[in-house]
Structure 1
């Protein structure tokens, strides 16, 4: 997170000049902003995630509805990084275990704005429903009923884990339910992923808005009305709205001030070295068999990257294992 300074000294009102600077700096890249209101204690984290959702689609070869599901989970995990200390190695993992055809959904994001994730079944057929006269993906049917779990690793030893029932399957509402039940933070959460006819992600993003301690009832009521009147966030981004524009819509009737911002990206921590450790943990007999078969490819679940180990490289791993047992 790129802090703009202490709250008192360096808050920037979202003037036309500030919005122009943000547009020029980020252009078409994914990013998020934290905004607050000058008059009352309200806060919002708004993100644009179009590019990273498209990268996830391409890496995992996702069907259209699987793209929408994973895109929502990736965006939701990034929104949950608002619970972390920005700019650190702290991370949050969002795990959705539903009984729908998409299966397990996992997204992990760190406080630097890097996110990765996968779905168990990437080639799920499309389910649709009609809502307000419009046909849209039936995300709830794809996800099903089950459990949503959030794991926070704050770097202090054992990660903190909390689970809640999936109440809607739409992911945004489920995250809001988690924040209320497990974190005692009443929040409005909106997430959208717009997938085009070719399967490409055309627009994606989300927001998390919440009252801070000391917020007045009047401000909370106005926030709720503003959020309810918002069009789908993916539609806003498709129209060219940026995170700062959406923040102003969430805070309509207030003066919106920019507190912090950061660039967002799909990024995995995997490497050939990490993949090699999984081979090292395998029994000697299995490694010998893989060596005779001409090598093996190890695929990262989170990003789809494959690492090939030749018979010679497997032989080196066997030698290292032999050293460790002597």
Structure 2
């Protein structure tokens, strides 16, 4: 399938297309190993799902922030969670959602921000948090809840209409996916099934990552909701599915087993930050003069972006120019 027919680049047009074998082959050829998500619905009833593959962007986050395996798993889940919450936004716009997890666990503050175009960024307060493991069904896995601890999940939606909408709920597990489902139920009154997985290999590299958000739409029948619940319960971990080669559209079909799956929209995903040296310069201009003087005496200044780890270095000459600009603005 040619790029102009994919319906999401560059205009990200919506589409409704039955998920036939040919469409699946076209998606595989087009996206290949890139991260992306599909928004799918059922033809027979009012069910909806947003399924994403996010292996590459989670690995980029790991490398940018020099994360430990535990921190990789936590931030990866938060990034995917923020992406899933963009399903509440207008597709393809600059509207954005920020997910903030404030727990008393050793990882500290966790922040992830995603926009409706599929761009996401984020950070954790403690990138070197040690690994915590728990056993579940005879298998060892990361104890995300222990790393995060107890606290609150806050979701901030910026719809571009002035003051952003903010809502907080208590963390019910610290596992992030369950906490997002609880948020959707309590703050948005939307019952949802949320699953997120980040598989970290022995070397620390992200081997597979993704997630889904599935929910009934208004008018969904009880039978359809029960069938969706059964399908969700029967699925293995989403990171396992992606590791095995399943793609977002394949997982959507598994979620909608017993229904005809149709694609509503596609979205390419990427780890991307809007920081720049100009923005960092603005932060320096806002500093008190005495602090700028100290930096000039030291000979240079370095400003690091929390969200992506990018570092901007300012020479003594640049700092002196900033000081002159600041003094002119104060006169």
Please provide the CA RMSD for this pair: 1.0
Query: Map of 1:304-319 to 2, 5 A cutoff?
Result: 304-319=309-324
CA–CA distance in structure 1, aligned partners of residues 210 and 274 of structure 2: 23
Q: Report the CA distance between 1:75 and its aligned residue.
A: 0.2
Q: Counterpart in 1 of 2:3? A: none
Q: In the alignment, which of 173, 178, 194 is matched to residue 173 of structure 1?
A: 178
- Is 1:295 the counterpart of 2:312? The answer is no
The question of whether the paired residues in 1 share the 8 Å contact of 2:134 and 2:142 is answered with yes
SS of 1:29 mapped into structure 2: coil
Question: Is contact 2:12-2:92 (8 Å) kept?
Answer: no
Query: Superposed, which structure 2 residues align to 1:32-181 within 5 Å?
Result: 32-181=37-186
Q: Do 1:12 and 1:258's aligned partners in 2 also have CA atoms closer than 8 Å?
A: yes
Q: Aligned to 1:164, what secondary structure does the other structure show?
A: strand
Shift of 1:322: 1.0
Structure 1, unmatched stretches of 5+, are none
For the Cα contact (< 8 Å) 1:5–1:11, is it kept in 2? Answer: no
Give CA-to-partner distance per residue, 1:58-104, whole Å, 9 cap, x none: 00000001000000000000000000001111000000000000000
Whether the 8 Å CA contact 2:12–2:267 is kept in 1: the answer is: no
Determine the structure 2 residue equivalent to 1:185. Answer: 190
Unaligned regions of 5+ residues in structure 2, if any? 1-6
Q: Which residue of 1 aligns with 2:278?
A: 273
* Aligned equivalents of 2:301, 2:233: Cα separation in 1: 52
The structural deviation recorded for 1:4 is 7.9
Structure 1 position 28 matched with structure 2 position 61: no
Q: Deviations over 1:16-35 (max 9, x none)?
A: 10000000000000000000
Contact persistence 2:106–2:148 (CA under 8 A)? yes
Cα deviation, 1:96-154, whole Å, max 9, x if unaligned, reads 00000000000000000000000000000000011000011000000000000000000
Residue 5 of structure 1, CA deviation: 6.0
The 8 Å contact of residues 4 and 11 in structure 1, kept in 2 or not, is answered as no
Distance 2:306 2:319 in 1: 21
SS in structure 2 of the partner of residue 215 of structure 1: coil
Q: Would you say 1:238 and 2:243 are equivalent positions? A: yes
State the alpha-carbon separation in 2 of the partners of residues 25 and 294 from structure 1: 49
How far did 1:11 drift? Answer: 1.6
Q: Aligned pair in 2 of structure 1 residues 5, 279: CA closer, same or farther (>3 Å)?
A: closer
User: How many residues align structurally?
Assistant: 323
Local SS of the residue matching 1:197 = coil
- Give the superposition deviation at 1:285: 1.0
TM-score (ref. length: structure 2): 0.96
Distance 1:11 1:107 in 2: 30
The answer to whether the 8 Å contact 1:149/1:161 transfers is yes
Answer whether contact 1:4 1:259 (CA < 8 A) is retained: no
Contact 1:99 1:144 (C-alpha < 8 Å) held by counterparts: yes
* Deviation for aligned residue 1:294: 1.2
Task: Name the structure 2 match of 1:202.
Answer: 207
Q: TM-score, normalising length from structure 1?
A: 0.98
> Does the aligned pair in 2 maintain the 1:12–1:259 contact within 8 Å?
yes
